[in-house]
């Protein structure tokens, strides 16, 4: 017997999408907008097939995903250890927290001129901008979570004779991971937005560059294709990171 809840979870979003396409078609047929500025749904479908046949869509998608993976991965690999250190060392927290807060509130896009001057136009500039957009939020979230781990956890670990490394792996990290995973989901979405914006301004390829190229060529049908792909990939990234919350050592934090 099928689960009614699962069916509803699929049917309702599909109904909303169908309604949106119907409204889109009605607006297009009304002639409110010029056809070159408001493509028909069927034109978008044809444009998707065109982009898929040429292979450009998949090449740009892989390029953008590569940049996000590199920048986001570097931010996580460096930001979590830095946040742990600041969370466990009050002196480090006092010294570096104002600087971290300053850079967290500075838009990564403001670094675009320097990124181009330092790294040129290519992969390095977007990766640098993505790293900046993720590193400081990850540091702050990890720091706050580590600083707020109940002291009773450390006392119990000490009673069991755990070393500092064991306490880190078996007590601190499991305790802070729910907050960290939530931050990673939000930050990954920001990174995906940043890579598109960076490619629009300082790119020669990628989905962001494809958006600008379609606009300059007055191909609004291709522009809509790129927008749909960007949105779907963003949802996919979030759903992928959401799976981390199902790991037993992390899930308990959401169920407290």
CATH architecture, range 44-254: Orthogonal Bundle (1.10)
- The model's pLDDT over 107-148, given as tens digits with 9 standing for 90+, comes to 888 898 898 889 887 888 899 999 999 999 999 998 888 877
- The H or E element that residue 178 is part of is helix 173-202
Domain boundaries, the chain: 44-254
Distance CA 168, CA 196 (A): 36
8 A C-beta contact, residue 109 and residue 197: yes
- The model's pLDDT over 185-201, given as tens digits with 9 standing for 90+, comes to 899 999 999 988 888 88
- The model's pLDDT over 197-250, given as tens digits with 9 standing for 90+, comes to 888 887 788 888 888 888 887 788 889 999 999 999 999 998 888 887 777 666
Report the pLDDT averaged over residues 29-52: 85
Q: Which candidate, 138, 153, 139, places its Cα nearest to that of 188? A: 138
8 A C-beta contact, residue 197 and residue 20: no
What's the predicted TM-score (pTM) here? 0.83
């Amino acid at each position: 017997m099928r689960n009614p809840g699962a069916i509803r979870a699929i049917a309702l979003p599909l109904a909303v999408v169908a309604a949106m396409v119907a409204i889109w078609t009605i607006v297009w047929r009304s002639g409110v907008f010029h056809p070159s500025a408001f493509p028909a749904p069927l034109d978008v479908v044809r444009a998707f097939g065109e982009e898929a046949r040429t292979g450009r869509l998949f090449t740009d998608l892989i390029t953008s995903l590569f940049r996000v993976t590199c920048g986001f991965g570097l931010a996580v690999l460096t930001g979590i250890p830095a946040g742990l250190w600041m969370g466990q060392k009050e002196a480090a927290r006092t010294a570096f927290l104002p600087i971290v807060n300053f850079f967290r509130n500075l838009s990564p896009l403001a670094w675009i001129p320097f990124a181009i001057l330092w790294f040129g136009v290519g992969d390095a500039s977007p990766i640098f901008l993505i790293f900046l957009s993720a590193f400081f939020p990850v540091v702050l979230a990890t720091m706050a979570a580590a600083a707020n781990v109940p002291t009773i956890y450390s006392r119990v670990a000490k009673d069991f004779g755990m070393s500092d490394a064991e306490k880190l792996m078996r007590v601190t990290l499991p305790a802070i991971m729910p907050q960290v995973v939530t931050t990673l989901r939000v930050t990954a979405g920001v990174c995906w937005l940043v890579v598109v914006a960076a490619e629009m301004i300082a790119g020669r390829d990628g989905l962001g560059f494809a958006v600008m190229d379609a606009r300059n060529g007055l191909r609004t049908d291709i522009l809509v294709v790129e927008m749909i792909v960007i949105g779907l990939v963003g949802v996919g990234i979030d759903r992928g990171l959401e799976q981390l919350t199902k790991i037993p050592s992390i899930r308990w934090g959401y169920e407290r």
